[in-house]
Amino acid sequence: MIETLFVVNAPNSSKESTRRPVLPSPNQENRVLDPKKAQNIAISLRALNVTIEEVCEALSEGNADALGTELLESLLRMAPTKEEERRLKEYKNDSPFKLGLAERFLKAVLDIPFAFKRVDTMLYVANFGSEVEYLKSSFDTLEAQALVSAVKFK
């Protein structure tokens, strides 16, 4: 009884002889990006609930408020490598392969001049006020500490 539960069946040799076609089907998505990176970008885009058009419009206009700091930080993490950027720019729309969501998104963003430099700048501008407030409070703390130290040494 126990032996029948743990018996390994020999693979069917006729199944092994069946081969898959070497060329991908025309409706298959073209993979310019690493599949794991493409999946992470696609998940992030769905989670952030933004469209490609909204992001491109905000980047073109430099409107950091429309995107928010969370989305800007995510965009910086999505930045493609130089090789990925080159392949996306070389991709032709008349290709028989479709781009996946992540590739379409990055291709649209890369059509904007200096897109990721814009994202970095917009994030800096968005965080500038809170950074200034943090520095002011740090300087106040240092000033108070310096006064306490000066009184102790008199």
pLDDT in tens, 132-142: 999 999 999 99
Residues 6+ apart with CB under 8 A from 63: 57
Q: pTM to 2 decimals?
A: 0.66
Residues 6+ apart with CB under 8 A from 13: none
The confidence score (pLDDT) of residue 124 equals 93
User: pLDDT grade, residue 1 (50/70/90)?
Assistant: low
Percentage of residues of the chain with pLDDT beyond 70: 76
Q: Residues 13, 77: contact at Cβ < 8 Å?
A: no
